[in-house]
Amino acid sequence: MSTVTRKMEPAAIEALYKRLKPIALSEKQPNYTYWQIKTQEMTVTAYTSGKVVYQGADLSWLEDDEPESSARSSSSRTSSSKSFNTSDKKPLGLTFPQAGSDEVGTGDYFGPIVVAATIVPDEETARQLEAMQVTDSKKMTDTVIRKVAPKIQEMIPNTIMVLDNPRYNQIYHKDRMNINRIKAWMHNQAYINLRNKGYTLPALKVVDQFVQPAGYYRHLAAVSEVVSDLHFETKAESHYVSVAAASVLARFAFLKYMDKLEAKYGMPIAKGGGEQATECARKFKQRFGQDELKNAVKLHFTNTTKL
């Protein structure tokens, strides 16, 4: 168990809380703290003194979570993406053409990680997508996603990458391959795949931010082809229709993979990462054995130790 302590301003603590809340397994408020959140991979405690303590098996990703000012100074490739905010008079989300990428599955014990990227060429296409009620996939039911996603695939340029459980478990922890590095590689490759399909990547390429820009590019230091000049923004799926469409396609691919898992093993497979997923894994292990888990779950999750 590793421990990392950081000193943070109240605004940064509040921002961290908003980032962690959607993936929280439990939340408490011990004495002298603002909050304590437990996720799949760590426990984070924010003290009223401004001290924030991270505890978990793998905290190497914290090297990415540096202040934005530091990120700007350490990576020139992020600076051009920031210029959109200052040079454009209209909202950046209304700039076309635009590309966007998003991922799903990182908080699910069962199933893969999926990254999708799309290009929305013009305002008319954006209006058509909005008329289909395409938004952040977390705000859409799976039934609607299954209906809408095939139409999106026909409407706009897109690519979908699925990292299945056997491969995920093979590479995780190898050469410091943590979850943020895996996501950075997949987002980068998704844009490359769009380009390899013959599409011209627009100037505005949006990544739903999961790490500071400098950390994102550090993860790609060993990659021979890097798509740069990206715009990073949290909650981007709520502001950019290209990212919203990507989130829907990624969720659709995730659902199809889960359908295949259920058909293969002949049992319902729980989504998410809480106790329901742990109980599902117990039943899975009883029927198929410990070794088969590697083909269906992300082994480094704490759910595995609970078994």
Average the pLDDT over 104-130 and give the result. 96
Specify the DSSP class assigned to residue 110. B
Q: Is residue 88 within 8 Å of residue 36, measured between CB atoms?
A: no
Domains of the chain, by residue range, sit at 2-57, 64-258
How distant, in Å, are the alpha carbons of 3, 98, 148, 221, 237 from that of 242?
38, 6, 14, 26, 8
CATH 3.30.420.10 fits 64-258, yes or no: yes
pTM: 0.75
Do 2-57 and 64-258 share a fold? Answer: no
Residue with tokens 């060993």: 222
- Given the candidates 3.30.310.10, 3.10.180.10, 3.55.50.30, 3.40.710.10, the CATH classification of the domain at 2-57 is 3.30.310.10
Confidence band for 174, pLDDT divided at 50, 70 and 90:
confident
pLDDT surpassing 70 at residue 254: yes
Decide if pLDDT at 73 tops 70: no
Structure-derived torsion over alpha carbons of residues 274, 162, 62, 281, reported in degrees to the nearest 10: 20
Asked whether residue 86 carries a pLDDT value surpassing 70, the answer given is no
Residue 290: other Cβ atoms inside 10 A: 10
Across the chain, mean pLDDT equals 87
